[in-house]
Amino acid sequence: MSLLPLPAPVPSPAQAAPLPAPAATPARRRSPSPARLARLARHVLTALPLVLIGVWLAADWRGLYDGASHLAAADPRWLPAGVGFTCLTFVAAACIRQGAIPERLPPLPLLASQVAAGAANHALPASIGAHAVTLRFLQRQGIPLPRAAASLALYALVKPVAKTFVLLALLLAAPELIRLDALVPDHGTLLMTGVGAAAVLAALVLLLATVRPLRRAVLGFLRTALTDARLLHTMPGRVLALWGGAAALPLLQAGVVASVGASLGLPLSWAQLVFAFLAASTAAGAVPAPGGIGPVDAALVFTMVALGAAPAPATATVIGYRVLTVWLPLVPGMLTLSALVHRKLL
């Protein structure tokens, strides 16, 4: 019996023709990676200081023009001294910053951070810009946030205390050169100042007494700050850097005022000009203005006029002082800020 071949299987409709390929779905848009976002933020922060320079120029170009015109007519022999005093203020600020932290910081990056902080200080009130730059620098150096914030508090506390001692020492050293009768405020002004200070202190005490989380945070911060302060004052090098820099800083700033005043022929001695700056900056330092511009300027002009200067050269001296301490370091400071951000030191 012969075997017949079986018929070939008939393909099913599904196998007869291949199904059409599904339409390509659009690729899902992926969110940027954290590394890419970090690079973008660093580029933006690098360019931001240059934008701030342009904004500052547009907002205060008249002050720059007036100051430059006054300095153009000044005696050029004194202006290099003012520039030198301005540069040394950054060294003094770096010394205070190092003295306020137990760890040793790299000197050149620390100095560069203070040049950048000086430029940022003129953008925000109450030294917020300078403190923000320094806080970020300390964190990049491995300092924990609570201890970095405690060092900023110690820096802010030591500066007015040292300035007050320098002012008292100047009064004791040269009492005959300084006339205080025109500078002492009347009883009404003293009463208003005392009432205002008492009201602020009472409000702070009430706030701490009623808000428990805030009280806990403040107490923890104070414990950290006091622990670091006790440790620092067992280290002679840190004590010298902290208090020596804090005492030298206002004298260097006053040296800029005295140099500009001498170049413009202001009829006041160096001791009187140093006293005028110390008194004016102490009295107006509590007003939260960017870089102290405004209140300190008005108080400085008033103090110099009270000591015997004419209003016009006193005003010109303050304008020239601002050119040397604000405008001259502004561009290098902003470029330094950009470089530190680019090098990931901020």
User: How does pLDDT run across 276-298, given as a tens digit for each residue?
Assistant: 898 888 876 555 555 555 677 88
Cα dihedral value 68, 294, 52, 93, nearest 10: 90
Give the separation between CA 277 and CA 274, rounded to whole angstroms: 5
Which residues does 121 contact at the CB level (< 8 Å), separation at least 6? 127, 129, 130, 290, 291
Please give the pLDDT value at position 64. 54
**Each residue's pLDDT expressed in tens, for the chain with a length of 346 residues:** 455 555 555 555 545 555 555 555 554 555 556 666 655 655 555 555 555 555 555 555 565 566 566 667 777 788 889 999 999 999 999 999 999 999 999 999 999 999 999 888 776 665 788 888 999 999 999 999 888 988 998 998 899 899 989 988 888 887 776 665 555 555 565 566 566 667 767 777 777 778 777 777 777 777 877 888 888 889 999 999 999 999 999 999 999 999 999 888 888 888 888 888 988 888 765 555 555 556 778 888 888 888 888 888 888 888 888 888 888 888 888 889 888 888 888 7
Give the separation between CA 281 and CA 295, rounded to whole angstroms: 8
What secondary structure does DSSP assign to 214-235, as a single string?
A: HHHHHHHHHHHHHHHHHHHTT-
User: How does pLDDT run across 128-149, given as a tens digit for each residue?
Assistant: 888 889 999 999 999 998 889 8
Under a CB-based contact definition with an 8 Å cutoff, are residues 52 and 123 in contact? yes
Which residues does 297 contact at the CB level (< 8 Å), separation at least 6? 318, 322
Name the residue ranges covered by the structural domains of the chain. Answer: 44-180+233-342
Neighbours of 24 (CB within 10 A): 6
Give the separation between CA 121 and CA 128, rounded to whole angstroms: 7
